[in-house]
Structure 1
Amino acid sequence: MKPSFSTVFTEKELIDRMKAGDSVAFEKIYDHYSQGVYGKLLKLVKINAIADELLQDIFLKVWENRQILDSNYTLRPWLYRVTENEIYKFYRKVALDIKLQTHILQTFDELYTHTEEEYYLKESHKLLQDAMTNMPPRCREVFELCRLQGKSYEETASLLDISTSTVSNHLVRATAIVRKTLFQSTDMALIVVTAYMLHH
């Protein structure tokens, strides 16, 4: 159960004191909200170390942006918007960072059973199929040949009787569609597995 605010200070008073640079007031706000924020983070990213890091980043932003806070309103809505933005930024980083994908997948190997691994692979293929339904026909063909079958640009160009530059253009468009679909998911493991598949 999260601790309540001090009977001496209301949330409004703590925010005003924090805006004036009172670190003790900030600590009380942290104590009140951190447990709920951490639970939301852990539910979405699944890994304690990552949730811990994001939690610190979020409350650093609270401190750095304390001057824009309006003490006439509760901090919760603003704080949860910051949390959602940080999670979204992390999703984007994972989708683009191969080393981070590898690190997280290694961590998943320690946490998830073989059955769960099969589940995420199945769901990842489903997510890619959903994305492909939104692609134009030729764009979908290029994506399937290059990303799912592992063919080179040259092989794909020869099979489809198009230039390699056209293959590249189709892949850029297809990747944008996949990323849009990917970022709609709230399952960190699914995002990581799918991003990893696209680069291997």
Structure 2
Amino acid sequence: MNLHSENNDNRLISLLQEGDKKAFRLLFEKYSSRLYQFAIKYLRDKEDTEDLLNEVFLKIWENRHSLKTNTVFQSYLFTIAYNNIRQRFLKKSREEKYIRIFAEEYIFDSANKEEQFDYLLFLKKLDEIIDLLPPRRKEIFILSFKKELKNKVIASQLELSEQFVKNQLSLARKFIVKKMQEDKNLAGILFFFLFSSQGKA
């Protein structure tokens, strides 16, 4: 970033500190595209990246009074974005800890009949949890999980919006994860559920 650009940022930040919405819009227009390209390389999802973008600039607006004009705004902006991405990955890592447990105990090391029986029991329990979902959500989940259809195909088949399908799958995931976490013996099912539900947009 050249000196002229940095000085211009300082002027915009000074105005932003006073609540100038035009200055905020100019900063957004200047950096949003760069920030989007930075974030999507990590998140690999358009909607997640757009959510992050909104969260970052919302934080900028909320903290406008404490912004400093003697710092490089771009560095500050990307630091917020990096921390946001990091938190998202940490959350995902916590959710997937059960996957690693199951992969080690029930996939790679499953060689005897007793372990295979446990595997079948897990699948039976999963079906029981799926049956607790609301009818429409259950239908969408089964099309995604068991028939392995992409969200776009499910939306077309059921005459729904793709966003609605995505929302329903997210709600189903949270419900099933919660039910499994309530019973430690069901942790293994997360392997099938989380892996099978990814990459179907």
TM-score (norm 1): 0.48
Q: Tell which has more relative contact order, 1 or 2 (C-alpha 8 A, sep 6+).
A: 1
